[in-house]
Amino acid sequence: MAQVSMTVRMDSQLKQSFDALCSEFGMSANAAMNVFAKAVVKTRSIPFEISAKEEDTSMDGLEAFKQIRRMAEAGMLPDLTLDEINEEIRLSREERAARERSKA
C-alpha cells in the first residue's frame, strides 16, 4: 500500500506536548496519528480516549505498552489488532532511528 504525507497544523506548544507524550507512550506522533486514523476509519467514529494522568508522566514506553495490552485484552480498544499496533510502533522506531542517523 502506498504511503502519502499529511500535514496537521497545531499550536507549537501543543505539538511539543503531543510529541513528548507520544514519546512516553513509546511511539512517534506520526505513529499515534496513524493508530488514531485507522481506529476512526474502522469504527466510523472517534472510538477511544487516550489519556495520561497529568501528575504522573513518568510511565515509560514498556509500561504504556502493557497498559494498552491490558485494555485490548479487556476489549476496551477498537478493532485494531495487536499486529497493527505493533506495526505502528515498529515504523515509529524506524523513523526515530533514521532521524538519529541523519543527525550523526
Q: pLDDT by residue (tens digit) across 60-71?
A: 666 767 777 777
Nearest to residue 61, comparing CAs of 41, 33, 32?
A: 32
CA angle 54, 38, 58 (to 5 degrees): 20
CA 61 vs. chain centroid, Å, equals 11
Note the pLDDT tens digit of each residue in 34-77: 888 888 888 888 766 666 666 554 556 667 677 777 776 777 66
Which range of 20-29, 58-67, 85-94 scores highest in mean pLDDT? It is 20-29
**DSSP string covering 4-15:** --------HHHH
Q: How far lies 61's CA from each of 30, 44, 53, 57, in Å?
A: 16, 28, 15, 11
